[in-house]
Amino acid sequence: MPAPSRQRAETARWHTAAQVLAALRRQPDITRAAMAQQLHLSSGSATEVLARMREVRLLDEEPAPIRGRGRPTTLLRPHRGGPVVLALDLRHEDWRSALATVDGRLHEPRVHRHRSREPEHVLADLRGHLRRVHRRYGPRLRAASLAVAAAIHGDRLVQASALGWGPVDLASVAEGTGLPLLAGNDATLAGIAEARTGASTAGGTALHLIVEVGIGGTLTVAGEAVTGAHGAGGEYGHLPFGDRSQRCPCGARGCWDLDVDGRALARHLGEPEPADPRTYARAVLDRAASDPYARRAVSTVAAALGAGIAGLVNLHDPEVVTLGGLGSALRTAASAPFDAAYLDGLMAFHRARPPLVLDAAHGDDGPLRGAALVGLDHVTAEAALATWAVEFRM
């Protein structure tokens, strides 16, 4: 075991390498020249740090296409033997998985149907998949990162209204692997993905909202989510923006969740509450083109969505709002009711220049991409890179 002073010095040596990898995640096709310019590195410093990163299988380089008369440069690429993160996205009707390399790209994406929605069965399926990936990749697999449609506190799921779960310990997913499990709310992670590599990269302060079974979201500042004292911030769906006669599965009345998803559409159509509100909502959106009753229900729900977003703009004052999941489809299907409710709900000074509401760039992949990015933040921090380099040389 190295002495503490030597360990600190070794960690500090990887500071610039961590910055290089962060630049690569922001721009996966970045060239050596552009990276050096962004990080204010001299040609010699860039050469030295990239040589060290190649030596320990973090990065590789390949010739960049020649454009114009400038000096030739290279494209930075993840090393084929480099570290990877397993990203997982647990949803109401299924769960998804993908491997992420240090450039943030997703590989081997898969969709897995639930054999049961009982927590012990779902967690066992996640655990089994993680163990199989761990056996395949060995020490290259450095962490698992899990997005869940739930309130998360540390590695505990506090409440998942959409899944019908109460408190659940998620740590068992990584049992037997020795790997860290990073867990986060799906909408929070999708917001991080949009802020760093999606539709809100130009906004220093951005609000991201995602409609699936209910609505969640996050406020990001400079690419980092504002998650509150216990990591559970962004439970916007449980604000009392909805019908006070409706009791939410969370226990409260009048939650916005119940006015903006498939449950609301079913209620307005006089149909039974759907077992799968997300799939049901997509079916109603398809019907709305030719069915006036479905069109009216979609308009009512889109207006409830727009009015609530106005309230959040008044609260947070973001530069841009991004809308994912069913939210963008609802707005597209009933843009006039959405826009009218949004503008009408804004304070006067916001109404003069309302923040743009943009479709999320990552679509349904937002939570998975966000999980990957947060996992990579963990495994490419200075101390983690120093540990990787030591293990690689052993």
Annotated domain spans of the chain: 4-78, 84-189+367-393, 202-360
φ, ψ of residue 104 to 5 degrees: the values are 85, -5
**Is-contact 205 199, C-beta < 8 A?**
no
Mean pLDDT score across all residues of the chain: 91
Angle between helices 277-287 and 262-269 (to 10 degrees): 60
The whole-number pLDDT of residue 339 equals: 97
φ, ψ of residue 221 to 5 degrees: the values are -125, 120
Higher-pLDDT residue of 11 and 139 is 139
d(CA 258, CA 156) in angstroms, rounded, equals 25
Task: State in words which class domain 84-189+367-393 has.
Answer: alpha beta
The whole-number pLDDT of residue 235 equals: 83
Q: Does 268 score more than 60 pLDDT? A: yes
Report strand pairing: 214-221 vs 205-212.
antiparallel
Long-range contacts of 44-47 (CB under 8 A, 24+ apart): 45/16
The whole-number pLDDT of residue 57 equals: 95
Task: State in words which class domain 4-78 has.
Answer: mainly alpha
241-245, 348-352, 367-371: which is most confident? 367-371
d(CA 329, CA 93) in angstroms, rounded, equals 19
300-320 per-position pLDDT tens digit: 999 999 999 999 999 999 999
Q: How far is CA 256 from the centre of its chain?
A: 21
Q: Does 392 score more than 60 pLDDT? A: yes
**pTM of the predicted model as reported, rounded to 2 decimal places:** 0.88
Angle between helices 382-393 and 366-379 (to 10 degrees): 70
d(CA 82, CA 275) in angstroms, rounded, equals 43
Mean pLDDT (whole number) for 39-57: 93
**Is-contact 187 256, C-beta < 8 A?**
no
3-class DSSP assignment, residue 296:
helix
Q: Does the 202-360 domain belong in CATH 1.10.101.10? A: no
In this prediction, what percent of the chain has a pLDDT beyond 90? 74
Mean pLDDT (whole number) for 195-221: 92
The whole-number pLDDT of residue 181 equals: 95
d(CA 394, CA 390) in angstroms, rounded, equals 6
The least confident of 4-18, 58-72, 140-154, 226-240 is 4-18
120-173 per-position pLDDT tens digit: 999 999 999 999 999 999 999 999 999 998 878 777 887 777 777 888 889 999
Mean pLDDT (whole number) for 83-93: 93
The whole-number pLDDT of residue 227 equals: 82
Check for a shared fold between 4-78 and 202-360: no
3-class DSSP assignment, residue 367:
helix
Strand partners, 214: 212
8 pLDDT tier (thresholds 50, 70, 90): low
H or E element at residue 283: helix 277-287
**Is-contact 298 330, C-beta < 8 A?**
yes
The whole-number pLDDT of residue 167 equals: 85
13-40 per-position pLDDT tens digit: 799 999 999 999 999 989 999 999 999 9
Q: Does 5 score more than 70 pLDDT? A: no
Instruction: Give the number of other Cβ atoms within 10 Å of residue 151's Cβ.
Output: 22
Dihedral sign, CA of 98, 112, 147, 189?
positive
Q: Does 229 score more than 80 pLDDT? A: no
The whole-number pLDDT of residue 234 equals: 79
**Is-contact 182 207, C-beta < 8 A?**
no
Which of these, 89, 167, 124, 114, lies nearest to 275 by C-alpha position?
Answer: 114
The whole-number pLDDT of residue 3 equals: 58
Mean pLDDT (whole number) for 106-122: 92
